[in-house]
Amino acid sequence: MKTALSKISLVAGVALAASAAFASVSVAAEGRFASFVSPKNPVVEYGAVPFIERVTKETNGELTYKMYAGGALLGGKNMVSGLADGVADIGQIVFGYYPAEFPYASLIADMAIYGKYAPAVAAAVTEFNFMHCQGCLDDYKRNGLVILGSTSTSAYQLLAKEDVSNVESLKGKKIRTAGALWSRWATSVGAVPVSAPSSEMYEQMSRGQVEIAIQPTGALKSHSIWDVGKDVVMLNLGTYPSWGIFSFSAKHWASLSNEHRTILMKNAAIGLIEAALGYMVLDEEVEAVAAEKGVKLIKPSEGLVNSVTEFLKNDRATVIEMAKTKYNIADPEPLMDKYVELINKWEAKFEPVRGDKDAMAQMLWDEVMSKVDVATFGQ
């Protein structure tokens, strides 16, 4: 009887252990995808969520990820360390938050006024990262990351509490800027730049702490800016291009088969384009209801447009000096020239298929991401 009970106990124990092991594998199989922006941000709604769905389907459920948006798992300022430590398997990184860790990506962020069509900018930065910037790849590897390209916001405009369509009207105005580049432009036209997270824009404008925010038109809706500012000057102050929305923990990437890596790479190509277009969709939604909301879309004066052109001419020397002294990039000019060349290249390539997300994603895959050796990439 004792022997029978022992056998039963042994069988039960083995079954329990197997069950526990299976449960552990199941839990481990579901990866964690972290974003610090809201679920309605285009990089989540149009980028991450469809990416997860496609990858789950194409791997027959062998790769699945749970989305943690709105900073539920990691915030914007601890995303890099969290990914490196394995808190999340994939995350979304604004590289401009980490100039010391990613100097080459910060160089590109300092050139954000070049380029206006978001998918073309996304393709240009992605090609630059993969094919023309060994320093970029070294930075990612040093920080325990594997980055599958960058996306781009749509064009930045001036979201204001009053008409600021000429240079004179900007003098002395406090502007919430989106980064150092726009702070320099604001200073050049006599405005006062204010640095703060985009999540604080509404409160700042409602309290009069700033009078203008530099953001895409879609921010009127996504951040409720149209409740406190009704005038939008359509100045097209470039886009934000250093947006690593498919940033992998190197530990997680190393655990994947080459087949799974290829599926992730293909779907990242789609997601980069769809997220960029998602920003544009949000802009279009806002512009369609602008009159109903009492929002005025204002054409900038010739003088204001010229202020951007002149700024770019003068700012190049500043960017070069910062690259050398702040980012320790010994020879930044060839990299800067290559980046501008790539923007022009992809804007021309996408012009005939403008708005066709499938065609643009296929071009990005064919010309850039399919040429990456997934077996050695990130190792």
Two tokens at 108? 């590109």
* Per-residue exposure over 307-334, b if at least 16 CB sit within 10 Å of its own CB, e if not: bbeebeeebeeebbebbeeebebeebee
- pTM metric for this prediction: 0.86
Which pLDDT value is given to residue 113? 85
- β-pairing, 90-94 with 145-147? unpaired
Which pLDDT value is given to residue 178? 81
Q: Check residues 23 and 163 and name the one with the higher pLDDT.
A: 163
Class of domain 28-152+241-290+331-371: alpha beta
Q: Check residues 346 and 14 and name the one with the higher pLDDT.
A: 346
- Left, alpha or beta for 179 (phi > 0: left; psi -120 to 50: alpha)? left
Phi, psi of 19 (to 5 degrees): -60, -45
Which pLDDT value is given to residue 28? 39
For 157-238+295-308, CATH number out of 3.40.605.10, 3.90.1150.10, 3.40.50.620, 3.40.190.10 equals: 3.40.190.10
The structural domains of the chain, with segments of one domain joined by +, span 28-152+241-290+331-371, 157-238+295-308
Share of the chain above pLDDT 70, in %: 92
Two tokens at 288? 């369609």
Asked whether the domain spanning 157-238+295-308 has the same topology as the one spanning 28-152+241-290+331-371, the reply is: yes
Taking only the tens place, the pLDDT of each residue in 228-262 is 999 999 999 999 998 999 999 999 999 999 999 99
Taking only the tens place, the pLDDT of each residue in 252-298 is 999 999 999 999 999 999 999 999 999 999 999 999 999 999 999 99
Which pLDDT value is given to residue 197? 72
pLDDT band at 29 (very low <50, low <70, confident <90, very high): low
pLDDT band at 17 (very low <50, low <70, confident <90, very high): very low
Is residue 217 within 8 Å of residue 283, measured between CB atoms? Answer: yes
- Identify the weakest region by mean pLDDT among 44-48, 53-57, 204-208: 204-208
Taking only the tens place, the pLDDT of each residue in 298-318 is 999 999 999 999 998 899 999
Taking only the tens place, the pLDDT of each residue in 139-148 is 999 999 999 9
Please determine, for residue 16, whether its predicted confidence score (pLDDT) is greater than 50: no
Taking only the tens place, the pLDDT of each residue in 71-130 is 999 998 899 999 999 999 999 999 988 999 999 999 999 998 888 899 999 999 999 999
Share of the chain above pLDDT 90, in %: 80
Is residue 122 within 8 Å of residue 276, measured between CB atoms? Answer: yes
Rounded CA-CA distance 325/314 in Å is: 18
Mean pLDDT of 196-200: 75
- What mean pLDDT is reported for the chain? 90
